[in-house]
Amino acid sequence: MSLRYALLGVLSLGEMSGYDIKRRFDKSLHFVWNASDSQIYRELRSMEEIGLVESAWIPQESKPNKRLYQLTKEGETGLDSWLQSTDGWESIHDKDAFMLRMFFMGRLPRGKGLEVLRQRYEQLERSIRFYETRLREYGDTKRSRRPRLLRWQLRLLEGMHEIDSAQRAWIDGLINDLERDDRKSSPRRRPTAKTEG
């Protein structure tokens, strides 16, 4: 059901086509929600049927025609009451394919587990770097037509940054401990030397 509200949210920024919305998702929202284009088109249709949005068919030359959507009054009030509700976040965590792996990772030999952790680490690094460049971009924005919205989005980015940094720190600790164990259990191989190649 949240896709519906993600669409209402995006349309609250101005009227748009399904295609525009998809681009907006990919550009600014992908870290909190995403959807395939076919799902977006389908959902917009059904939202129009129940009166949350209205559309106008715009013929265009030298480009495909398009359908511009905008919020109705019901759409706006629906969005605002959803914002204040707790629908869809009864449980904070469920379905995390990485954490699920951790639960059973003890099956594998240490080295294999280490490899998986290193991949997660890199992934977190990329994610953190993404938030940092986005925060810089926001910092450069001198003024906006929607300063309140902007401030919340800035804070959101900061939060995501903190959360991923916490996870990275945890993974880092795990990796270090496993590497230490490795050295303890097979000390013959790399006694204290450090040359290589």
Partner DNA sequence: CGAGACATGTAACCTGTTACATGATTCC
Partner DNA sequence: GGAATCATGTAACAGGTTACATGTCTCG
Residue from 60, 133, 186, 195 touching DNA (CB under 7 A): that is 60
- By beta-carbon proximity to DNA, the closer residue of 72 and 165 is 72
User: Per rule CB under 7 A, is residue 176 in the interface with DNA?
Assistant: no
User: Per rule CB under 8 A, is residue 114 in the interface with a second copy?
Assistant: no
Segment lying near a second copy (by CB under 8 A), choices 56-64, 86-94, 135-143, 189-197: 86-94
- Secondary structure, 3-state, the chain: CHHHHHHHHHHCCCCEEHHHHHHHHHHHHCCCCCCCHHHHHHHHHHHHHCCCEEEEEECCCCCCCEEEEEECHHHHHHHHHHHHCCCCCCCCCCCCHHHHHHHHHHHCCHHHHHHHHHHHHHHHHHHHHHHHHHHHHHHHCCCCCCHHHHHHHHHHHHHHHHHHHHHHHHHHHHHHHHHHHHHHHCCCCCCCCCCCC
- By beta-carbon proximity to DNA, the closer residue of 45 and 110 is 45
What is the nearest approach in angstroms of a second copy to the Cβ of residue 114?
Answer: 11
User: Per rule CB under 8 A, is residue 113 in the interface with a second copy?
Assistant: yes
Rounded to whole angstroms, the Cα distance separating 185 from 45 reads: 62
Convert residues 37-56 into a mask of x (bound to DNA by CB under 7 A) and - (unbound): xxx-xx-xx-----------
Rounded to whole angstroms, the Cα distance separating 134 from 139 reads: 8
Q: In a 10 Å sphere around its CB, with 0-12 CB exposed, 13-18 middle and 19+ buried, how is residue 185 labelled? A: exposed
What is the nearest approach in angstroms of DNA to the Cβ of residue 92?
Answer: 14
What is the nearest approach in angstroms of DNA to the Cβ of residue 135?
Answer: 25
Number of chain positions touching a second copy (CB under 8 A): 69
Q: Which residues bind a second copy (CB under 8 A)?
A: 2, 5-6, 9, 12, 29-34, 79-80, 82-84, 86-89, 91-108, 112-113, 115-116, 119-120, 123-124, 127, 146, 148-153, 155-156, 158-160, 162-167, 169-171, 174
Q: Which residues bind DNA (CB under 7 A)?
A: 1-3, 17-20, 23, 34-39, 41-42, 44-45, 60, 62-68, 95
